[in-house]
Amino acid sequence: MVIASASWMLGRAAVSPTQTPPTTSAILVARRSRAALVAMVITAAGSSEPGRAEPQLSQPPVDSGRMRSSLTPLGPPVSRDRVIATFPKWYTPEACLQLREHFHRQVSAACQRRNTGTVGLKLSKVVVVGDLYVGKTSLIHRFCKNVFDRDYKATIGVDFEIERFEIAGIPYSLQIWDTAGQEKFKCIASAYYRGAQVIITAFDLTDVQTLEHTRQWLEDALRENEAGSCFIFLVGTKKDLLSGAACEQVEAEAVHLAKEMQAEYWSVSAKTGENVKAFFSRVAALAFEQSVLQDLERRSSARLQVGDGELIRMEGSPPETQESKRPSSLGCC
């Protein structure tokens, strides 16, 4: 268990912007060793059997907004500010991915019964893209390490952080990929877009050009992923530098674009921390809910497939009866 909790906090050593630029192969080697560590952590976490199916409750759980569980927590504990018990709210209802303020009914029930399959072992991939200098690294560092650096250190290629949560009593982790905004690193960074469950397109609220460029960043990231498979967020950074009418005007433009992109809009400040935790909690909750629903669907369709087989014969039934009970789609032979 100690291995699990310590290793979740993998740092940025592999591609620190302060080092000389690594070659692509160096990045791949570093990534592989990190992947091995992540695999170790998953194995270690697996020993506590997160996501195991618990006996079903006799009464269906009430779908209340707040999720509480009297069962023992699964996996190693997470810090208190990573515990999500109520569904986090949107920033603005004008551009949000869902208006519900509580967990999906089926998700609530599955969490209460600890019937969330492999979701507790999953690392959901979040990719942050956007122009250079918009504050992608600062946003991630504020959330993951609670620090802010005034000095600009360009990200070289990619970097990632793993953040553990406990959502509705179930452990859940986000793997947050920080990509370089500089053109010369784009081909390295874009190799990491694939398999994203969440795409965050960031722009600087004080630089309207960076907002315009988010369309292109999103298009590039979506090209590497299946259509309709990703949650998209549009995030305006450096909110501390803008206020009043100027802020409202940029936000209105951004909300308009977010609707076009089918994205959820947020304004944040890595410097002051404003909205940073709320934003990532929202990302985690939406990704978690989707993961649980997908897992439930996958398991129920697997059960259906098993049920479609012809291996079970009812003892004592005449062959004609068995024949007539076959689904017609199976044909005559």
Ligand X SMILES: Nc1nc2c(ncn2[C@@H]2O[C@H](COP(=O)(O)OP(=O)(O)OP(=O)(O)O)[C@@H](O)[C@H]2O)c(=O)[nH]1
Contacting positions for ligand X (CB under 6 A): 132-138, 149-152, 154-155, 180-182, 237-238, 240-241, 269-271
In this complex, which beta carbon is closest to ligand X, that of residue 12 or of residue 282? 12
Give min distance, CB of 267 to ligand X, in A: 10
**Contact partners, residue 27, CB within 8 Å, separation at least 6:** 14, 15, 157, 158, 188
In this complex, which beta carbon is closest to Mg ion, that of residue 76 or of residue 157? 157
Residues of the chain by 3-state class (helix, strand, coil), percent to 5: 45, 15, 40
Q: What x-and-dash track marks residues 143-182 binding Mg ion by CB under 5 A?
A: ------------x---------------------------
Give min distance, CB of 74 to ligand X, in A: 34
Contact 217, 130 (CB under 8 A): yes
Q: Which residue is nearest to ligand X (CB)?
A: 181
Measured CA to CA in angstroms, residue 14 lies from 21, 24, 29, 88, 254 at distances of 11, 12, 9, 33, 34
- Does 237 sit near Mg ion (CB under 5 A)? no
- The one of Mg ion, ligand X, none whose footprint includes residue 26, by CB under 5 to 8 A per kind, is none
Give min distance, CB of 143 to ligand X, in A: 12
Q: To 5 degrees, how large is the angle CA 314–CA 320–CA 323?
A: 70
Amino acid (one-letter) located at 89: K
Helices and strands, counts by H and E, the chain = 10, 7
Order of all β-strands in the sheet with 83-84: 83-84, 158-167, 170-179, 123-130, 198-204, 231-237, 264-267
- Does 210 sit near Mg ion (CB under 5 A)? no
Q: Which helix (H) or strand (E) holds 285?
A: helix 276-308
Give min distance, CB of 195 to Mg ion, in A: 21
In this complex, which beta carbon is closest to ligand X, that of residue 270 or of residue 285? 270
Give min distance, CB of 107 to ligand X, in A: 33
Out of 108, 112, 115, 137, name the contact with Mg ion by CB under 5 A: 137
Per CB under 5 A, residues contacting Mg ion are 136-137, 155
